A = this chain, B = another copy of it.
Amino acid sequence: MLRIIPLGGLGEVGLNAMVFESEDQAFLVDCGIMFPQAEALGVDVVLPDFTYLRELGDKLKGVVLTHGHEDHIGALPFLLKDRPLPVYGSPFTLGLLAPKLEEFGIRAPLTELAAGSSVDLGEAFRVEGVRVTHSIPDALGLAIHTPEGLVVHTGDFKIDHSPIDELPTDLQRFARLGGDGILALLSDSTNSERPGTSLSERQVGRALEEIFAKAKSRVVIATFASNIHRIQQVLDVSRLFGRKVVLVGRSMQQNTRIASELGLLDIPLGLVVDVEEGRRLRHHEVTVLSTGAQGEPRSALMRMALGDPNAPMPVDEGDLVVLSSRFIPGNEVAIGHMVNRLAMRGAEVVYEGAEDLHASGHAYREEQRLMLRITNPRHFVPIHGEYRHLVRHVKTAHEVGIPDSSCHLITDGEVLQFEGGRAFVNGTVASGRVYVDRRGGPDVPELTLRERALIAETGLVTAVVVIDRSTGALVRGPELTARGIAVPDEAALLADVRREVHAAVESLSPVLRGDTTLVQEEVRRAVRRAYKRSTERKPVVLPLVIEL
């Protein structure tokens, strides 16, 4: 028996976490966060629901990581802080994970899983790393030997025949596995809506060369700090054009150091200079390599755009800013704002357009087809994507001859069970999103977020009344405090609220006035009525009745 249970990432982008479970053993593939849409509601991190992992107890033997992106490793500290499970991953993946665990004060056993080698997870599972190309180095697909047969999990992958590190997706190995017979393929669906094939990362280097050839002042390039190959290309092109490189942003500095120590990034001696030297150099001698391509409000690039005097480097008239990444949906407005501010400082900004400034790390449709053909699985499960991406990936599977009965479109929490070559959905487990205010803070229930959203939409009024316990008379109040409400005529409104509240309380018999809950509800409704008349809106009202 084998059960495959996605706890996140199937039906959404991010939050990737998938359980593999046999009779007696289980392990987790990836444990990622999602970047919250609900940022305005004060949520910093979104985690998968760990309930089922807790239920697994000692059956859970460890976590295997496919690569080091936050949506695959970011939730791990929150899981490990209660129970330090063994973690397996490639050197760079573990290199990125280690400082995170350190920050949390977690000591968990980290074991390297290199491409081509295997680890055992209990007696039921043997997991082999298979090299794949992605927008981060040292990414793995997984060949998972299970009691029911071989399952291939692609991780996030693309097929780039000319990757910067000359380590392309190991098609030979996937083909060999396919020849041996694969029970199920679990394949990356992120780009299933895009026809054709993805751009080679090398093409971005050529586009950068053209841009550098024309640049007359500083060049500022913003990209993800984990995109080491992009960074390598920026370093190379900078050297070609006689520019020194200033690294800006904490993660940019940290990731380049880790990658360089692991031999994944080649930084020629003297090429990278610190901010002070960068400021001293003439403009046409400098490249600034920065994070913040998504318009993050506190990023170095945004601070540069806003002209913050404490920003690491200034942006001046004639500087060229290149946003070398895609726009993550939901960030368009923030990015647009940043571009406007850069334009106001006289910089030219190049992004998402005619030029090949970014190559996706995820397989396009033709690459997905190739993966399906080469692995030739008995069952297919689209993973990693919103529902529409999963649906489209199934359609692609049909196009290469995989019948509908062999395609399993499951989403978070659904249990896909394999027994004797058959696959079927066998119930669900707890899944969903867990919101965390910030590191160390408690989980935030969805109800709390809905309260925040409601107050944000309507504003809030507190109304305090004091009732004489013996007579039931309203002796004081309502005392009102309002926040987030626009009132055309404050005095008139206050008088109206007073009238409403007094009438409401007086309409109750002395006995009923002894029921605080009832009085509170009457006060709440009276205040809302008055506000509605005056502002056309019903705010959230917090009534408080004090009996003295």
**B-contacting residues of A (Cβ < 8 Å)?**
11, 37, 40-42, 193-195, 329-330, 332-333, 336, 339-344, 349, 353-354, 386-388, 391, 437-445, 448-449, 451-453, 455-460, 462, 464, 466, 475-477, 479, 481, 483-488, 535-537, 540, 542, 544, 546, 548
Q: List 7 A-B contacts (CB under 8 A).
A: A40-B456, A40-B457, A195-B354, A341-B387, A448-B459, A460-B483, A476-B546
**B residues less than 8 Å from A439 (CB atoms):** 536
- Which of B195, B329, B451 is close to A484, meaning CB atoms less than 8 Å apart? B451
Docked-complex contact A37 and B479, CB < 8 angstroms: no
A391 to B349, CA, bound (A): 11
Docked-complex contact B548 and A486, CB < 8 angstroms: no
Docked-complex contact A388 and B343, CB < 8 angstroms: yes
Docked-complex contact A546 and B466, CB < 8 angstroms: yes
**B residues less than 8 Å from A484 (CB atoms):** 41, 448-449, 451-452, 455
Docked-complex contact B438 and A536, CB < 8 angstroms: yes
Min CB–CB distance A410 → chain B (angstroms): 13
Q: A444-B486, A456-B456, A546-B546 are in contact. List 11 more A-B contacts (CB 8 A).
A: A195-B353, A330-B332, A341-B387, A437-B536, A441-B537, A451-B484, A453-B456, A460-B483, A462-B481, A464-B544, A475-B548
**B residues less than 8 Å from A341 (CB atoms):** 387
- Which of B455, B462, B487 is close to A452, meaning CB atoms less than 8 Å apart? B455
Interface SS of A by simple majority: mixed
Docked-complex contact B459 and A483, CB < 8 angstroms: no
Docked-complex contact B466 and A548, CB < 8 angstroms: yes
Docked-complex contact B330 and A542, CB < 8 angstroms: no
Docked-complex contact B333 and A448, CB < 8 angstroms: no
**B residues less than 8 Å from A464 (CB atoms):** 464, 544, 546
Known: A354-B195, A437-B486, A486-B445. A542 touches B462 (CB 8 A): yes
Known: A353-B193, A452-B459, A548-B476. A343 touches B486 (CB 8 A): no
Known: A456-B452, A462-B544. A441 touches B386 (CB 8 A): no
Docked-complex contact A344 and B387, CB < 8 angstroms: yes
**B residues less than 8 Å from A41 (CB atoms):** 456-457, 484
Name the residue on B nearest A351 (C-beta).
B193
Min CB–CB distance A202 → chain B (angstroms): 24
Docked-complex contact A442 and B487, CB < 8 angstroms: yes
- Which of B438, B458, B462, B486 is close to A442, meaning CB atoms less than 8 Å apart? B486
**B residues less than 8 Å from A333 (CB atoms):** 37, 329-330
A460 to B342, CA, bound (A): 36
A444 to B336, CA, bound (A): 25
- Which of B332, B441, B537 is close to A332, meaning CB atoms less than 8 Å apart? B332
**B residues less than 8 Å from A444 (CB atoms):** 486
**B residues less than 8 Å from A340 (CB atoms):** 11, 386-388
Known: A349-B388, A457-B42, A459-B452. A336 touches B329 (CB 8 A): yes
**B residues less than 8 Å from A330 (CB atoms):** 332-333
Name the residue on B nearest A328 (C-beta).
B332
Name the residue on B nearest A441 (C-beta).
B536
A455 to B483, CA, bound (A): 9
**B residues less than 8 Å from A445 (CB atoms):** 486
Interface-centre pick from A42, A332, A386 (highest chain B CB count, 10 A)? A42
Known: A42-B456, A388-B339, A464-B464. A540 touches B441 (CB 8 A): no
Interface-centre pick from A391, A440, A484 (highest chain B CB count, 10 A)? A484
Interface-centre pick from A11, A342, A387 (highest chain B CB count, 10 A)? A387
**B residues less than 8 Å from A540 (CB atoms):** 483
Docked-complex contact A483 and B544, CB < 8 angstroms: no
Docked-complex contact B440 and A536, CB < 8 angstroms: yes
Kindly list the 6 A-B residue pairs having the minimum CB-CB distance in the complex, ordered from nearest: A456-B456, A452-B484, A42-B457, A442-B488, A444-B486, A329-B332
**B residues less than 8 Å from A544 (CB atoms):** 462, 464, 479, 481
Min CB–CB distance A441 → chain B (angstroms): 4
- Which of B194, B195, B448, B481 is close to A485, meaning CB atoms less than 8 Å apart? B448
Interface-centre pick from A340, A479, A481 (highest chain B CB count, 10 A)? A340
Interface-centre pick from A344, A439, A477 (highest chain B CB count, 10 A)? A344
A483 to B484, CA, bound (A): 14
Docked-complex contact A537 and B42, CB < 8 angstroms: yes
**B residues less than 8 Å from A342 (CB atoms):** 388
**B residues less than 8 Å from A546 (CB atoms):** 464, 466, 476-477, 479, 546
**B residues less than 8 Å from A441 (CB atoms):** 486, 535-537
A506 to B193, CA, bound (A): 66
A41 to B539, CA, bound (A): 12
A540 to B386, CA, bound (A): 36
Interface-centre pick from A11, A386, A437, A440 (highest chain B CB count, 10 A)? A437
**B residues less than 8 Å from A542 (CB atoms):** 462, 481, 483
Docked-complex contact A437 and B537, CB < 8 angstroms: yes
Docked-complex contact B386 and A442, CB < 8 angstroms: no
Min CB–CB distance A184 → chain B (angstroms): 22
Min CB–CB distance A435 → chain B (angstroms): 8
